[in-house]
């Protein structure tokens, strides 16, 4: 029998899964497990061809377009960001709310909204900071912490970038 290393099998299935291919995991694993039962290279080649036919027949669901993915996932992502912007969020955290690969979600989000996930998150945070600046007397440092910035300098830098160079203090004074 031919020995197929388990990490090779795991990497193959993981790679297919990361591209959001709707593979039937159990069926694919059973086909791959069958590779090690082949006695000759010809049998192995034949079995691998069968697996590839299975995999490529299940290529990213052809009836499901990028727009359908966007329509399905982007509203959930936006809600998640709007309800969790004050946390120390990463792209991986956001992607996990819809069970998508972070890189794929980033591309999907950018295509649908015209903004990166990070840009959208920062926009939500800065918008909320403007409310807090005009409605409260909280310090700039406290506001930064309340909206998810652990570093006040990063907050000020993002604020200025989104407000034509105006600092949070200048914004507060002018409103």
The larger pLDDT score, comparing residue 20 to residue 169, is at: 169
pTM of the model: 0.63
Q: How far is CA 163 from the centre of its chain?
A: 27
**Residue whose structure tokens are 């995991």:** 25
| Residues 80-139 pLDDT 10s | 999 999 999 999 999 999 888 898 899 889 988 889 999 999 999 999 999 999 999 999
pLDDT band at 77 (very low <50, low <70, confident <90, very high): very high
**Token digits for 155?**
């907050």
pLDDT band at 49 (very low <50, low <70, confident <90, very high): low
Does the pLDDT at position 48 exceed 50? yes
């Amino acid at each position: 029998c031919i020995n197929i290393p388990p990490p090779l099998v795991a990497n193959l299935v993981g790679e297919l899964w990361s591209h959001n291919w709707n593979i039937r995991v159990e069926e694919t694993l059973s086909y791959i497990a069958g590779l090690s039962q082949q006695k000759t290279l010809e049998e192995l080649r034949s079995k691998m061809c069968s697996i590839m036919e299975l995999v490529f027949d299940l290529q990213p669901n052809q009836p499901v377009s990028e727009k359908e993915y966007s329509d399905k996932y982007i509203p959930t992502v936006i809600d998640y960001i709007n309800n969790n912007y004050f946390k120390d969020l990463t792209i991986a955290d956001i992607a996990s709310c819809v069970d998508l690969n972070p890189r794929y979600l980033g591309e999907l989000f950018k295509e649908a909204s015209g903004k990166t996930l990070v840009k959208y998150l920062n926009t939500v945070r800065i918008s909320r900071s403007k409310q807090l600046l005009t409605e409260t007397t909280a310090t700039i440092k406290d506001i930064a912490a309340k909206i998810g910035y652990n570093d006040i300098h990063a907050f000020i830098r993002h604020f200025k970038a989104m407000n034509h160079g105006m600092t949070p203090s200048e914004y507060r004074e002018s409103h």
